[in-house]
Amino acid sequence: MTKRSDVVKNVRFRGRVEYHGEALALLERPEDCVLVTRGVDRELVMKCPDGCGDTLTVNLDSRAGPAWEVYVRRNAVSLYPSVWRETGCESHFMLINNHIYGFGFSSIDEIDLTDAFVQSVLQQFEDRKKHSYYEIARELREMPWDVYLACERLVKAKKLEKADPKNKGIYLMREKGKQ
């Protein structure tokens, strides 16, 4: 059983190395994570944040199989999409700006977004068409998580609505006066 006190809330980004072995050597604390980059980003190596003790190697290179996207901004690391372990502890988490979110971790509702940013996302829907948050993130060169959260907050504020019940990532401007 995992003790709650072992759960990692904030990761410590140790920087980039070229080889997996070098990354492992830098995992000194449970919250440490290291990027392996040779020409392109290859993998993110970290301890499982739920405290089970496993070392996770998150693939970032689409040539090597299913790959995550990594974002490094002001020394803060994010992974997109979420990591869902199919083996071992089966932990499911999101890594956003060095923080771990998800069930058993912090809530993504705690993430701060500026009003200006949320408005810039809303503007993308002024053409009255359906858009996926991922497509908008590409358009605005923003991190998908930030745009996803902005869309979800705009749904709560009744500015947007979900366009397709089968595809949670697609939104539409909400018609005025609709309850």
Residues 64/101/138/129 CA torsion (nearest 10 deg): 130
Assigned token pair, 144 = 């998908």
Closest to Zn ion by CB, 105 or 133: 105
Closest to Zn ion by CB, 6 or 161: 6
Compute the distance between CA of residue 115 and CA of residue 97 in angstroms, rounded to an integer.
19
HSE-up of 93 (CA within 13 Å, CB side)?
26
Please, is 121 exposed, middle or buried when counting C-beta atoms within 10 Å of its C-beta (0-12, 13-18, 19+)?
A: buried
Closest to Zn ion by CB, 23 or 46: 46
Q: Chain centroid to CA 49: how far?
A: 14
Which of these ranges, 62-70, 90-98, 107-115, 167-175, lies near Zn ion under the rule CB under 5 A? 90-98
Which of these ranges, 11-19, 66-74, 88-96, 162-170, lies near Zn ion under the rule CB under 5 A? 88-96
Of the candidate residues 7, 52, 67, 143, the single one contacting Zn ion (CB under 5 A): 52
Of the candidate residues 17, 36, 48, 77, the single one contacting Zn ion (CB under 5 A): 48
One-letter amino acid for residue 173 of the chain: M
Of the candidate residues 17, 34, 35, 91, the single one contacting Zn ion (CB under 5 A): 91
Q: State yes or no: residue 97 binds Zn ion (CB under 5 A).
A: no
> Quick one: DSSP state of residue 10?
B
Binding site for Zn ion (CB under 5 A): 48, 50, 52, 89, 91
